[in-house]
Homo-oligomer: A and B are copies of this chain.
Amino acid sequence: MDAAEFRCRGKEMVDYIADYLEKIEEQSVYPDVEPGYLHHLIPTEAPLEPEGFGEIMQDVEKVIMPGITHWHSPRFFAYFPTGSSYPALLADMLCSGIGCIGFSWAASPACTELETVMLDWLGKMLQLPECFLAGTHGRGGGVIQSTASEATLVSLLAARCKAVRWVQAEDATRSEADILSKLVAYTSEQAHSSVERAALIGAVLMRKVPTDDNYAVREETLKKMVEEDKAAGLIPFYFCATLGTTPSCAFDCIPELGPLCNRENIWMHIDAAYAGSAFICPEFRPLLNGVEYADSFNFNPHKWLLINFDCSAMWVKERADIIGAFKMEPLYLKHENQESGLVTDYRHWQIPLGRRFRSLKMWFVFRMYGIKGMQAHIRKQVGLAKEFESLVRADKRFEICAEVVLGLVCFRLKGSNELNQNLLKKITKSREIHLVPCQLSGLFVLRFAICARKTESRHIQQAWRHITQLAFELLQEQPH
């Protein structure tokens, strides 16, 4: 394919994407295929000779589309949202077209520098404390990670490295192996599984902290665990707080947990993967109070800030900490002065070496929406969640299972877990809307998350009618 054909095919693809997104509502949100369906539809080997674009696009319709769960359908209410917007799609095209690999400043200066400035822009939108910004000579700064899982892992590794250093500074006779075997990390029992996995990867112990009635970690509980562990000879070194947990969008009490962590020399990382986007609205910013105590903070603009996956924003107070986690030789310290403000080799901030020019997506979206446009998006979606909450509350057969703070509503039919499992089975089978469950205090709960950019009030009303209709059928079927 030469440039001339690309011009033609590329424009067809633009129309294909626009058509797909414009008509997405017409499709079943959840696909009707069995495991292995695709295997039967395509050859078992790559072709020897080239095939034409037309044939492939026919197969996209025949092979791919029937197997897609449509995350951007306004009838998709599962998981959490994944971002999508036209400005982000345009930026992603440009990113692919330029195709540079920005692992160091020199590998494409624009790629590194725009990222640093975009993370400062975003940090200012969130009113992050100055110490998290790169500015021109800052010791902190932001970086785009692929996912919140990676941000958690990177912060845990930085904390691990720092802990080994300070323990050895206090007692030079302790071996690294001995220290590693005594390190203990903490996170909420409600935290995402990726936090526990980060500890597995980092080969450190992780303890789950019980939560209060609002599914939030409180100071008292963590303090008790830390004291017990210290008494047992362990070394508390890391706490991953969650703002907006996956099951119920609960918020750990960081204004009280932060000072505890600071006193105890515990690295506090904040995972606000979903909720973080909301903090650009002044009315939701108080949920981030206490971030000033954190060592690192992360959220996913690729979830709720209209930016296509992947774009997970992470900030650290001390960039030297994060770089130190990947390079432990003293020799390396020679370079550390270079790592300040705008001069950055992002390969030292992340697990992979290569990286795409992802900050273009931020630049396009921030400018084409403006802060006001992004705030309007968040507010609209929170409003839709409140609308759904009201519908649930008005129906005495149902109950709300957790406070609705942002765009997630946790609800269930009053009654057994089995009843609610059956309701979800009916919902999934209908393929009209798509939800996933969670477990709260031993109860099987349905999560209704406002996801697609184009979800409107009518979709909420339709979804509720559909759910209540299925619930009615289910309750009719129940033995009295």
Partner-B contacts on A (CB < 8 A): 1-7, 9-11, 13-18, 20-22, 31, 33, 35-39, 42, 44-53, 55-56, 60, 63-72, 79, 82, 84-90, 92-94, 96-101, 105-111, 113-114, 117, 120-122, 124-125, 136, 146-150, 153, 157, 160, 175, 177, 180-181, 192, 194, 197, 200-203, 302, 308-310, 325-328, 341-343, 351-354, 356, 360, 363-364, 366-373
List chain B residues, Cβ under 8 A from A65: 110
Task: Give CA–CA (A363, B56) in the complex, Å.
Answer: 9
A326 touches B113 (CB 8 A): no
Q: How many copies does the complex hold?
A: 2
Residue of B55, B82, B117, B160 near A38 (CB, 8 A) is B117
Q: How far is the CA of A88 from the CA of B93 in the complex (A)?
A: 11
Closest B residue to A180 by CB, please name it.
Answer: B203
Asked if A370 meets B147 with Cβ closer than 8 Å, knowing A15-B7, A67-B113, A109-B31, the reply is no
Beta-carbon contact of B351 and A17 below 8 Å: no
Contact A86 to B16, CB < 8 A, known contacts A39-B342, A110-B64, A342-B39: no
Structural contact, A10 and B18, CB atoms closer than 8 A: yes
Q: Which of B85, B180, B351 contacts A177 (CB 8 A)?
A: B180
Residues of B within 8 A of A373 (CB): 50
Q: Which residue of B lies closest to A51 (CB)?
A: B367
Known interface pairs A66-B110, A82-B101, A352-B150. Does A366 touch B309 (Cβ–Cβ under 8 Å)?
A: no
CB–CB B90/A6 < 8 A = yes
Q: B16 touching A97 by the CB < 8 A rule? A: yes
A353 to B312, CA, bound (A): 12
Structural contact, B370 and A50, CB atoms closer than 8 A: yes
Contact of A367 among B17, B47, B79, B120 (CB under 8 A): B47
| Residues of chain B lying within 8 A (CB to CB) of residue A64 | 98, 110, 114, 360
Q: Is the CB–CB distance between A99 and B71 below 8 Å?
A: yes
A308 to chain B minimum Cβ distance, whole angstroms, is 5
Determine if A96 and B106 form an interchain contact, defined as CB atoms under 8 angstroms apart: no
The residue among A56, A369, A370 with the most chain B CB atoms within 10 A of its own CB is A56
Other than A5-B86, A310-B354, A310-B356, give 4 A-B pairs with Cβ distance below 8 A: A7-B18, A37-B113, A39-B117, A147-B354
Are A38 and B114 in contact, with the CB atoms below 8 A?
yes
